[in-house]
Structure 1
């Protein structure tokens, strides 16, 4: 960020409007602001911070007691440039405040402007929108800006007098690097502990290996050969046992099958009387089946005989009636 122009009025010791043109100063790339203590050097940085973020880093609450006691309004306008891949972009931030109490102030105007082809374009005109736009443009929050760009007053002299560990701690505090240092220390301690545990494990394993001389190696090879021979014998015994186990499993299966057949035979034997009864009933049924035509013919003959008997009975009754009629006719004739 390159400062171009700063205008302040009513800010701390700057009661009257002040215009500061940085164009001539920034031409060389580096410039300094010098003056006795209390001359307002830090107020210029406060004015830039107030214009960009609406707060002053060293003021209580960000805005308490920043207005000159003899004034009722405070204004600040800051023009700056930022370099981009497409070129340089120029912005201007305007803010105005009015007194809200003895030490408090209230924002009355806030505006962010971008210059494009000598034309001023308003990007935002509300405090929240301006703050967000500034953070997006700079890529820094107010805390980041005051730590990385604006070094707080008195911290630089303190930093120069520090050495070694104290200087590293100071840098950590300035740039809020304590969490990273703590995590690095914790990670280093954990790595050291893991390495120490691994070393102890290797030492214990080395002690467990014992003597590694030629004689010990030869003895170990001899024991290895004996162990291999014993393992070969055990494998042969294992194969024999597996074959025997297979034979015994086959025998057990045959015994189970035999027991099953015996049980089935016993069940069939228990059903023999009932089977004999069924066979006798079947024989009688077959005999009855052979006699069924005769029974049918007998039944038909009996029905025919009964029918003929009925006819004969009817004829006898008709004959009796005829005889009675004849007798009556004869009697009538005789009379």
Structure 2
């Protein structure tokens, strides 16, 4: 069944463009004076079949999150929307149409709502897993690419084309800060802090959601893209151009903890606190790497499994351990790969 967002999203009109991931039909050209930003690998067709099952969810699925009830939200494009999937039953529930395609999706709580930046309308909203939308914040910077909720309730977003950070409360922008990161990509929440990755190679910038100020910065890696909070005040950063995942403690100072080898343009990240498992997509090899983070200072690679083409995003069901991977290659099968926990390396 397909449900159209009506009153809550009538003001939202978005034209799809590429964010920190490229889009072959709408790839934006950066000015010649702008440093090259990190991008996901252009993945070849898989040579090994993906494990588990795949289901059609919509064209070029990108961001994916899964709540504690086993429902996933997947951002899709052309037609644009959010597809809700019961990962335990392996079936699509419905697609909620929007006039734009979300890329990064984040959970505001264990079972939602889902934080949904709609980039080219400069809009950020939230959606519950029943398809209900919350307040719609408009006029949110210049291409708000990712947003997280800090412990005080502030939404902190990345202003990808404008640089710097955006702060939202009660559906309104209450403050914005200039770069800071000239082109922020992914962001992760650690208590009251939000740690942003800069895709142009300037490392990590940390913001305090309560005071709405920049409190730390550190140059790490080559060029980062995504960020994902772990437990214990840690954040994993995909150093996409450096072939690694960097684990940092946010105090709010950025303190090095570990480097995880991840050749093949690491991009999508997820984490399961129950099993202390970090999941990393390796785009150039159509592979998912699982890492045991029981001892964060000594990560242990559990193994790799084959994925759908262009695995840009990944999430794990926090109850059953089912893993969902988006197949984001333009023109390829519009698929979401579902991997049962018993097929994953132990």
- Larger relative helix fraction: 1
- Larger relative strand fraction: 2
Q: Tell me the TM-score normalised to structure 1 length.
A: 0.22
* Higher Cα Rg, which structure: 1
Name which structure has the greater RCO, CA cutoff 8 Å, separation 6+. 2
